[in-house]
Amino acid sequence: MTTEKTQRPIIQLQGKQKKFLRGLGHHLEPVVLAGREGLSETLIQSIRDAFKTRELIKIKLGQNCTVPKKEAAAQLSEITGAALVQLIGKTVLLFLPNKDLKPDQRIVLPK
């Protein structure tokens, strides 16, 4: 597990915004799979790379993942600076706004 902390503040989402993002994330496929290495530097870098091209990602915690799912979700949120939208089963949904994306690729959250 990495000890590196994020420089960005964790985004705080309201209930309505989480519900909106859960709806968007429902049909997404996981882009990162956490295996027996747990929350390794490679996994964290894969998540950061995924956030360069999208704002909402799913992460699947495999059966061999050594970190408990609630702890893993909280740590992934803290390390990446992303908001934890949902943890359902062993699937984590994270949201991180990316100002570098084109306007038509960005997610506009409800107020």
- Compute the residue count for the chain: 111
Q: What is the CATH number of domain 15-97?
A: 3.30.110.60
Q: What is the pLDDT of residues 42-52, one digit of tens each?
A: 999 999 999 99
Q: How far apart are CA 80 and CA 64, in angstroms?
A: 22
pTM comes to: 0.88
Q: What is the pLDDT of residues 70-91, one digit of tens each?
A: 999 999 999 999 999 999 999 9
Residues 65, 75 contacting (CB under 8 angstroms): no
Q: In the chain, what are the domain boundaries?
A: 15-97
